[in-house]
């Protein structure tokens, strides 16, 4: 079945316990060159723009809060998980500089700003990949924190803003803009511009819809590929599988669904090196993802000997979880009587069906099929690569159907014959996008689809699953038919989820005391729950139990009408952003009350262009050699 002669000398099929080969196939040097060019380009642009200070064409700003995280960072701690190695940032403190000044004034100036920040700083945060809670330093009374290295606090990203661009051109949707807060023209804020003058905007199911006239239907707003990449958030990276969980019997998230695939594992210090091997089969064999994130209890149990964690792993839906929002501070520890756990509110309250999958694949055959699959509302979206001729086809298989519907085709993808490739597929904003080795594929037809036609069940878009089809509990897969291949790394991401909350002067939210939510929130009994026509349903049941999924019909949508020269802005960190949706009480009671849920053109300062100075390092990277203010070149970047 398309197997090359040279492959016959590879020896017997690997088994699950076979160590990984020490030497992998060499990466394409063009990819390294591309990454180098992008880094150099970002640096050149950053430093060129810095010179524009002298001509007053650009101005520097510091990001004050985490409302745009992880796109742009406010005050934060920069963490590296000691178990899986994942780098992530958490909200180090809710206090802004103005908050510190106000507290210092209330206390008669007897304390320094540093003391105030120390009293209110975060103590721990959760890794987005392995979900271990990591400490920012030793905490009295918390045994597991005593070996933690003290992490310092960093101020927000420093960005350059083009102040005069909007004097010559109109703002564009998805621009990241700096503006004067409408309730207090002294304060500068930064958000993403998503609504344009004269539009009516609808937030529904995590997506944005617009219409220009009352007689028109709302149409979904789709992000271009660069914006998709800018706002995506990590779900899981197979290259960062923690050894401690595996040794305690916790299952892998990517597992073979049948005999066509095998998983190779080798413990490498604190991580497990993983590779997945596909052998040539007559039918499509599948490697599938199950979302089984660990939690604080899982990690505490893993430290005990003789306990098998496998039976406790239960798949759940992917949510709008954001590691930046997982900060645990002293007040929270006191509320939980010292128990170390992440509150439900910080685990993401909403199911996210828009996903992106990346795969590093080494194909060892000159024919056969390789398939990338993403599932939303039970519908299986697939990109099938024909290795023999290098073509690809996009299809959709709705839940409960046996016939796939063609969407579009591409005659030349570059995936032809044997070779190594970086493949990516996104199902975002009711559009399929495919990348091969960094380039976006062009298909013969638009790759947009009608979500109501393909995804809706009895008028609502809900997660789906049955005995024969895991559906949204297994929302991603890689298939192989008639070829041999190795998947060295596979990473799953989610799209940004815009929360349909509204708190304006004329429409005050009923969710007082709750984070922003699509749902009307309550407790039942003592657990976080949502209100439905059939009574409250707990968040835990909604995420884990298909019998509770009808509760997703209780999701609300919100609409906002914009007038002439009015824009709508929201933060990328929708769960922790006081933006135009919530401007009833003056950005959380700070700085006055704006005129309505909109931003007037006259309040715009400019467009964010680049992060020219992210936080610096105190020592040479990778060493213990002191070097104050060592430039953090890696995080200098354009703002997308």
Instruction: Write the pLDDT tens digit of every residue in 306-348.
Output: 788 888 889 999 999 999 999 988 777 777 666 777 888 889 9
Say what percent of the chain tops pLDDT 70: 87
The answer on pLDDT for 38 being more than 50 is: no
Confidence (pLDDT) at 139: 84
Q: 19-23, 268-272, 367-371 — which is least confidently predicted?
A: 19-23
Q: Is the dihedral of CA 589, 593, 598, 600 positive or negative?
A: negative
Confidence (pLDDT) at 25: 41
Query: Is 25 strand, coil or helix?
Result: coil
- For the segment 415-426, the average pLDDT, to the nearest whole number, is 97
The answer on pLDDT for 115 being more than 90 is: no
- For the segment 268-289, the average pLDDT, to the nearest whole number, is 95
Confidence (pLDDT) at 617: 78
With cut-offs at 50, 70 and 90, classify the pLDDT of residue 11: very low
Tokens at 174, concatenated = 């998805």
More confident: 514 or 447: 447
CB-CB contact of 156 with 74 (8 Å): yes
Question: What are the pLDDT digits (tens) for 531-565?
Answer: 999 999 999 999 999 999 999 999 999 999 999 99
Q: What is the pTM of this model?
A: 0.88
Question: What are the pLDDT digits (tens) for 582-591?
Answer: 886 555 445 5
With cut-offs at 50, 70 and 90, classify the pLDDT of residue 58: low
With cut-offs at 50, 70 and 90, classify the pLDDT of residue 31: very low
CA–CA separation, 161 and 46 (whole Å): 11
CA–CA separation, 267 and 277 (whole Å): 17
CA–CA separation, 412 and 421 (whole Å): 14
- Partners of 201 in the β-ladder: 210, 560
Q: Which residues contact residue 360 at a Cβ distance below 8 angstroms, ignoring those fewer than 6 apart?
A: 420, 421, 422, 487, 488, 489, 490
- For the segment 143-166, the average pLDDT, to the nearest whole number, is 84
More confident: 61 or 376: 376
The answer on pLDDT for 593 being more than 70 is: no
Question: What are the pLDDT digits (tens) for 509-535?
Answer: 888 888 899 999 999 888 999 999 999
With cut-offs at 50, 70 and 90, classify the pLDDT of residue 30: very low
More confident: 478 or 635: 478
Q: Active-site residue among 42, 67, 93, 365?
A: 67
Distances (CA, A) of 115 to 14, 111, 124, 305, 333: 58, 6, 19, 42, 20
CB-CB contact of 363 with 421 (8 Å): yes
Q: Domains along the chain?
A: 1-56+254-289+353-494 (2.60.120.560), 75-154+293-347 (no CATH)
Q: How many CA atoms lie within 13 A of 130 on its CB side?
A: 28
Confidence (pLDDT) at 27: 44
Q: Active-site residue among 3, 42, 191, 369?
A: 191
More confident: 498 or 216: 498
Termini Cα distance of the chain: 44
CB-CB contact of 360 with 153 (8 Å): no
The answer on pLDDT for 21 being more than 50 is: no
Known catalytic residue at 191: yes
More confident: 1 or 437: 437
Query: Is 59 strand, coil or helix?
Result: strand
């Amino acid at each position: 079945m398309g197997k090359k002669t040279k492959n016959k000398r590879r020896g017997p099929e690997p088994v699950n316990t076979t160590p990984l080969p020490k030497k992998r196939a060499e990466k394409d040097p063009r990819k390294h060159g591309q990454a180098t060019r992008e880094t150099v380009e970002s640096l050149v642009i950053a430093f060129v723009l810095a010179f524009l200070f002298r001509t007053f064409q650009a101005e520097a700003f510091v990001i004050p809060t985490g409302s745009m995280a992880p796109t742009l960072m406010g005050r934060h701690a920069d963490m590296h998980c000691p178990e899986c190695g994942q780098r992530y940032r958490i909200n180090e403190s809710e206090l802004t500089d103005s908050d510190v000044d106000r507290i210092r004034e209330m206390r008669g100036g007897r304390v320094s700003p540093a003391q105030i920040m120390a009293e209110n700083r975060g103590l721990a945060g959760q890794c987005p990949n392995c979900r271990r809670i990591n400490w920012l330093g030793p905490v009295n009374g918390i045994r597991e924190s005593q070996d933690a290295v003290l992490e310092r606090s960093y101020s927000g990203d420093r960005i350059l803003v083009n102040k005069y661009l909007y004097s010559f051109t109109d703002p564009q949707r998805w621009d990241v803009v700096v503006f004067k807060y409408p309730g207090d023209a002294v304060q500068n804020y930064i958000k993403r511009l998503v609504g344009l003058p004269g539009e009516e905007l609808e937030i529904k199911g995590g997506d944005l819809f617009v219409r220009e006239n009352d007689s028109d239907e709302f149409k979904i707003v789709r992000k271009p590929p660069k914006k998709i990449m800018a706002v995506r958030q990590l779900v899981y990276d197979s290259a960062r599988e923690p050894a401690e969980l595996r040794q305690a019997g916790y299952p892998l998230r990517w597992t073979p669904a049948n005999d066509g695939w095998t998983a190779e594992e080798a413990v490498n210090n604190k991580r497990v090196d993983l590779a997945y091997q596909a052998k040539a089969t007559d039918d499509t064999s599948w490697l599938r993802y199950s979302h089984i994130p660990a939690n604080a209890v899982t990690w505490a149990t893993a430290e005990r000997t003789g306990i098998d964690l496998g039976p406790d792993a239960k798949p759940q839906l992917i949510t709008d979880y954001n590691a930046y929002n997982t900060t645990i501070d002293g007040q929270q520890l006191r509320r939980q009587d010292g128990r170390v756990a992440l509150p439900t509110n910080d685990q993401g309250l909403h199911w996210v069906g828009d996903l992106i999958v990346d795969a590093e694949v080494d194909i060892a055959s000159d024919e056969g099929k390789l398939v990338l699959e993403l599932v939303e509302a039970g519908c299986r979206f697939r990109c099938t690569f024909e290795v023999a001729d290098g073509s690809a086809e996009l299809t959709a298989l709705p839940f409960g159907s046996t016939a796939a519907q063609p969407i579009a085709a591409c005659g030349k993808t570059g995936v032809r014959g044997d070779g190594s490739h970086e493949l990516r597929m996104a199902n975002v904003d009711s559009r399929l996008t495919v990348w091969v080795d960094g380039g976006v594929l062009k298909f013969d037809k638009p790759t947009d689809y009608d979500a109501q036609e393909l995804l809706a069940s009895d008028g609502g878009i809900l997660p789906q699953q049955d005995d024969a089809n895991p559906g949204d509990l297994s929302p991603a897969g890689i298939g192989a038919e008639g070829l041999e291949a190795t998947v060295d790394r596979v990473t799953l991401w989610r799209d940004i989820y815009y929360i349909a909350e509204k708190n304006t002067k004329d429409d005050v939210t009923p969710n007082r005391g709750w984070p922003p939510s699509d749902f009307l929130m309550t407790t039942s009994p003592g657990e976080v729950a949502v209100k439905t026509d059939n009574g409250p349903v707990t968040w835990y049941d909604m995420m884990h139990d298909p019998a509770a999924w009808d509760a997703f019909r209780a999701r609300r949508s919100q609409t906002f009408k914009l007038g002439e020269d009015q824009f709508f802005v929201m933060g990328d960190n929708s769960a922790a952003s006081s933006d135009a949706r919530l401007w009833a009480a003056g950005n959380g009671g700070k700085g006055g009350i704006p005129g309505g849920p909109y931003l007037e053109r006259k309040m715009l300062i400019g467009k964010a262009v680049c992060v020219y100075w992210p936080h610096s390092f105190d020592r040479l990277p990778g060493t213990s050699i002191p070097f104050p203010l060592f430039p953090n070149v890696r995080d200098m970047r354009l703002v997308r």
